[in-house]
Amino acid sequence: MEPLEIAQKIKERFPEEVKDIREFRGQVSVTVKRERIVEICRWLHDEPELDFDMLKDLCGVDYLGKKPIRFEVVYTLYSMNHHHMIRLKAEVPEEDPEIDSVIEVWRGADWHERECYDMFGIKFRGHPDLRRILLPEDWEGHPLRKDYPEKGPEKEWKGFQDVLDTARRLQEYVWKG
């Protein structure tokens, strides 16, 4: 099915939820509200005509100062049988960065959601094991947010000091020849 047709179908089924449909270079993004995201995903997955059985990618985007609602969670979906794709974007406001987890629909969402939490601080309700994944568990801040400085935080991560201390302590074992 053509991507625009799919977008129309979503709009027919969930007229209240769909906020925007946009096409760029043959790829269509459908922006939806976050409240019924699991229901929408479940429907996209189960509907035989659409049959989106694969979650290719899930990631967050921070539109600080560019859009009224700051965060977006982007779902790239693909159907093996029908060979079509669609991009779903759920808006997540800054003051309450939470959205329901789609792990029940696609198991593959597990680590993607953890990464999104790690990088953007968006909480996924219903995720069984929402921990930081790429950064240490005691890291402060969420690096891919636009207000996070590119050169790193002001204060050094405290684990880094431990590493330096250990390295200094081990200096005495260095072979001096």
Partner 1 sequence: MERVEKPLQTKEITLNMGPQHPSTHGVLRLVLELDGETVVKCTPYVGYLHRGIEKLSEGMTYMQALPLTDRLDYISSMANNVGYCLAVERLFGIEAPERAKFIRTMVCEMTRISSHIIWLGTHALDLGAMTPFLYSFREREWILDLFEKLCGARLTVSYPRIGGVRNDVSQEFLDSLYKFTEEFPRRIEEYETLIDQNRIWLKRTKGIGVISAEEAINWGLTGPTLRGSGVNYDIRKKFPYDAYDRVEFDVPLGKNGDVYDRYRCRMEELRQSTRIIRQCIEKLPEGPIMAPDAPKFTLPPKDRVLADMESLIHHFVLITKGPMAAPEGEIYVATEVPKGELGFYIVSDGTGRPYRMRVRAPSFVHASVLPRLCEGGLVADVIANIGTIDIVLGECDR
Q: How far apart are CA 177 and CA 167, in angstroms?
A: 19
Residue among 106 and 124 whose Cβ is closer to partner 1: 106
Q: How far is the CB of 160 from partner 1 (least distance, A)?
A: 13
Using the minimum distance from each CB to partner 1, give the nearer residue, 27 or 35. Answer: 27
**Nearer CB in complex with partner 1: 64/164:** 64
Which residues here bind partner 1, judged by CB under 8 A? 24-25, 27, 29, 53-57, 59, 61-62, 66, 74, 76, 80, 83, 85, 87, 106-108, 110-112, 115, 119, 132-136, 143-144, 148, 150
Task: Write down the least CB distance from residue 2 to partner 1, Å.
Answer: 15
For the CB of residue 49, give the shortest distance to partner 1 in the complex, in Å.
18
In angstroms, the CA 141 to CA 118 distance is 9
Cβ neighbours, 10 Å, residue 13? 15
Q: Would you say 4 or 35 has its CB closer to partner 1?
A: 4
d(CA 170, CA 52): 54
To partner 1, the closest distance from the beta carbon of 79 in angstroms equals 10
In this complex, which beta carbon is closest to partner 1, that of residue 39 or of residue 108?
108
Cβ neighbours for 68, distance < 8 A, ≥ 6 positions apart: none
Contact predicate 30/48, CB 8 Å: no
For partner 1, which is the closer residue by CB, 16 or 20? 20
Closest approach, Cβ 1 to partner 1, in A, equals: 15
DSSP states along 101-161: --TTT-TTHHHHHHHHHHHH--EEET-TT---SSS-TT--S-TTSTTS-TT--SSPPHHHH
* Cβ-proximal residues to 61 (8 Å cutoff; 6+ apart), any chain: 71, 72, 74
- As measured in angstroms, the least distance from the Cβ of 98 to partner 1 is 21
